Structure formats: structure tokens, C-alpha cells
């Protein structure tokens, strides 16, 4: 299934008072607790937002952005008066009133569900909606996901490594993940597979000069992860599968089978890395009437769809697929627009599950010691990019 790359959300001035309290706890959520979220403070919904988790101010250089890019969970708001001194704050916990507000919004959304006929149409024509999206936006809508090298050190090259290393991204879009990997990892024995539901997205990826120069190390193809058609990848051959804001675009009834098929491609000790929307994220709370398809599953104005996960959703699914949790944690982020004095509370989930060895043992957790490369402008990046992912 295709999912575009990292972008930044466009903001508008709030039209109502911010209902959030002045203080926020900085405690981290337990790995299996339902993530908490925020109330919307903006009137206009964001469209197609992947939310680059560590977007630096627009006026900084690439080197400054790289220096400021740190793993999430390290910036705590202890003094509310300082809220607009940074672009983002981590582990911002909600009080019971806020949790109940989010649940109330979702209950109200469920009163006006999309009709069964339209639900069937959105599923049957999913590929067409994605092709229209990429035909309209080309490669100019999303930024390259350079932040992933910080969050997932498995994607960073080992210095001077020539070992065989195979990475697969289902839902590659126009290459906002795979192109930075190819650009950064110069291992001649690296093999990157890239697949997308949208034929137009794959076509755009293949047109980039970097992809054309790297065809010996990268293979791109059209594939629907909900299909039972076999992948052109041997089972048990992959070191890493990276899934970024992709699974949420799949009909929930088809997610388990899709993850089980993907897990078979991993070699023992291989890792599945995933980042996606958490339950009650700002995006979910902004949906209006007649947008809910089923519980926590919505359709955007352009016909593409999005699901909002709990940690238990992902844990159950990946465990049933035969994988073992290394981590499954919420990224509860308060993002601020300092110029407009706007607060936006986001919830994403970030997980790593590994395939055990034959004897049931697991690989040692990987600790990042790598220097994050500066953000670069690959051919997939456009000047019109945004820094959030798939929102409406």
C-alpha cells in the first residue's frame, strides 16, 4: 500500500480558545497504554500530513538541522511559560478531561458513518485515488525522511561495510525513504526493494536521476500489500522492513494478513520498523461528519483513507505474525507554531519487532551511535513540500 513521505502541516490561526490546561505532565506512557492526544486548536483540517517529528525552523541550514535532529522523547516542557521557545515538546500527557473530550469527539463522528455503498467504493477504487493523488502532486508534496536515520539506526550504514544487507519498503511513494537510504549508505552490497500500490508513484520514483543511477542496488515495483500475490523477494531474505505511515491506509480487516505475509520475508534476526498514527491524534479529531468508515478508520476528501492505532492494535497484529516486540511506544508530541502562537498535539506510534532465531533467541537491541547525515535535497524533494504526513 502506498503512503507518501514526510511533510509539514500548514497551519491557520485558531478560531476558538485553546481548551488545554496550562500544565502538562512529562511522564512517559507505558508501552501498552493507549496513547493520549490533544484537542484541535485550528479550524481548517490538514491534508496529507506525515509530520516530520523533528522539523527544524525553515531558516536553518542543513547542517544546523542535522545537529538539532535528536531522537524523540528528550525535550520536556516543565514550564508552560516556555512553550513557544521550541518547535516541539515530548511526552505531553493528557488529563482525564482531555481524554474524555477526545472520546466524545469520536463518538460523535460515529453518528454519521459513511454509507456501506461508499465504503465499498472507496475500497474498490483505492488504487485510483492514490494514482490521482500522485498525478496531482508529483514529487513536490513531501520531504525526504532524513529523520528516520535518527529514529531507526537500523537504516544507518555501518562504516565501510560491504556485507550483504537487504531493506524493503512497502508503500514507498515517490522515494522519500528509499532515496535517502541509497544516498547515505554506500555499501555496494546493499539491496533496497521499494513497492507501492500506486503505479504513478512507482513511475515517478523510477524517473528520478538517483534511482536511475542506483538500479544495481534498488528494485521498484507495483504491489498491493493486501494482495495474496507473491512478492518478488525471497522469503527469509530481508534484514529490515520499514513501514512509514502506510499500514494506516489499509482496510483494518486486511491488516493482519498483510503483516503476516511481510513477516515471512524477514530473515531470523531481521526487524520490522513501523511508524504510524496513534489513537486520538489531532488528525482524527479534526474529521467532520460523514467521514468515518468504521471504528477509527476514516476517508479524506481526496478519497484516500487513514486508520488510527492503539499500541495494543499493533502489538496483537505483529505478535500474531510471529514477531517479538523490542519496543512499542507512543510519540506524544506538542508541536507549536511560534509565529502564530498555535499549539498542535500529535500522537504517533513507533515500533520495532524482530523475527526470532530458530532457537527462539533474539538479536541484541541496536543502540544508535551514528552521526545523522545532513538533510539533503534528493530528486524526490520538492520546494512545495510540507513537514507532516497525511492529515485532513
Look at 282 and 150; give whichever has higher pLDDT.
282
Express each pLDDT in 325-374 by its tens digit.
Answer: 999 999 988 889 998 998 888 999 999 999 999 999 999 887 554 444 44
Residues near 123 by beta carbon (within 8 Å), at least 6 away in sequence: 251
Closest CA to 154 of 181, 193, 189: 181
Look at 41 and 102; give whichever has higher pLDDT.
102
Strand 238-244 and strand 165-170: pairing?
parallel
pTM: 0.76
User: What is the pLDDT, as a whole number, of residue 218?
Assistant: 97
Query: What span, in angstroms and rounded, lies between the C-alpha atoms of 320 and 330?
Result: 21
Query: What span, in angstroms and rounded, lies between the C-alpha atoms of 329 and 73?
Result: 10
Express each pLDDT in 55-112 by its tens digit.
Answer: 333 333 333 343 344 555 678 888 888 888 888 888 888 889 889 999 999 999 999 9
Residues near 43 by beta carbon (within 8 Å), at least 6 away in sequence: 12, 14, 15, 16
- 331 touches 347 (CB < 8 A): yes
The CA-atom distances, in angstroms, between 123 and each of 2, 150, 259, 275, 319 are 14, 35, 18, 23, 26
User: What is the pLDDT, as a whole number, of residue 367?
Assistant: 57
Strand-pair partners of 88: 335
Share of the chain above pLDDT 90, in %: 50
- 295 touches 326 (CB < 8 A): no
* Full set of structural domains in the chain with CATH: 62-354 (3.40.50.150)
User: What is the pLDDT, as a whole number, of residue 268?
Assistant: 97
Express each pLDDT in 236-272 by its tens digit.
Answer: 999 999 999 999 999 999 999 999 999 999 999 999 9
Least confident of 8-22, 127-141, 317-331, 355-369: 8-22
Amino acid at each position: 500500500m502506498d503512503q507518501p513521505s514526510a511533510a509539514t502541516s500548514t497551519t491557520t490561526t485558531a478560531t476558538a480558545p485553546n481548551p488545554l490546561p496550562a500544565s502538562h505532565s512529562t511522564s512517559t506512557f507505558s508501552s501498552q497504554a493507549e496513547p493520549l492526544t490533544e484537542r484541535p486548536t485550528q479550524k481548517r483540517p490538514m491534508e496529507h500530513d506525515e509530520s516530520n517529528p523533528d522539523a527544524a525552523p525553515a531558516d536553518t541550514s542543513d547542517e544546523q538541522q542535522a545537529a538539532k535532529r535528536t531522537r524523540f522523547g528528550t525535550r520536556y516542557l516543565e514550564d508552560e511559560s516556555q512553550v513557544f521557545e521550541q518547535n516541539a515538546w515530548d511526552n505531553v500527557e493528557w488529563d482525564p478531561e482531555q481524554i474524555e473530550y477526545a472520546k466524545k469527539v469520536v463518538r460523535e463522528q460515529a453518528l454519521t458513518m459513511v454509507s456501506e455503498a461508499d465504503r465499498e467504493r472507496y475500497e474498490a477504487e483505492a488504487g485510483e485515488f492514490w494514482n490521482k493523488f500522485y498525478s496531482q502532486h508529483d514529487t513536490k508534496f513531501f520531504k525526504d525522511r532524513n529523520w528516520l536515520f535518527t529514529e531507526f539506526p537500523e537504516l544507518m550504514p555501518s562504516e565501510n561495510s560491504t556485507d550483504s544487507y537487504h531493506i524493503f519498503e512497502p508503500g514507498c511513494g515517490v522515494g522519500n525513504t528509499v532515496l535517502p537510504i541509497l544516498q547515505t549508505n554506500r555499501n555496494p552490497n546493499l539491496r533496497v526493494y521499494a513497492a507501492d500500490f500506486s503505479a504513478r508513484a512507482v513511475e515517478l520514483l523510477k524517473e528520478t536521476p538517483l534511482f536511475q543511477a542506483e538500479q544495481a542496488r534498488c528494485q521498484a515495483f507495483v504491489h498491493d500489500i493486501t494482495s495474496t500475490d507473491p512478492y518478488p523477494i525471497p522469503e527469509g531474505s530481508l534484514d529490515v522492513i520499514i513501514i512509514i505511515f502506510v499500514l494506516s491506509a489499509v482496510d483494518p480487516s486486511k491488516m493482519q494478513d498483510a503483516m503476516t505475509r511481510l513477516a515471512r520475508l524477514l530473515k531470523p534476526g531481521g526487524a520490522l520498523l513501523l511508524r504510524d498514527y496513534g489513537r486520538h491524534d489531532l488528525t482524527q479529531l479534526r474529521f467532520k461528519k460523514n467521514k468515518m468508515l468504521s471504528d477509527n478508520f476514516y476517508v479524506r476528501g481526496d478519497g484516500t483513507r487513514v486508520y488510527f492505532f492503539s499500541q495494543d492494535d499493533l502489538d496483537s497484529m505483529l505478535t500474531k505474525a510471529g514477531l517479538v516486540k523490542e519496543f512499542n511506544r507512543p510519540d506524544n508530541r506538542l508541536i507549536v507554531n511560534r509565529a502564530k502562537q498555535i499549539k498542535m498535539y500529535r500522537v504517533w506510534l513507533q515500533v520495532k519487532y524482530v523475527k526470532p532465531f530458530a532457537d527462539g533467541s533474539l538479536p541484541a537491541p541496536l543502540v544508535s551511535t551514528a552521526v545523522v547525515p545532513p538533510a539533503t535535497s534528493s530528486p524526490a524533494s520538492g520546494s512545495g513540500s510540507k513537514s507532516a504526513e497525511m492529515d485532513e
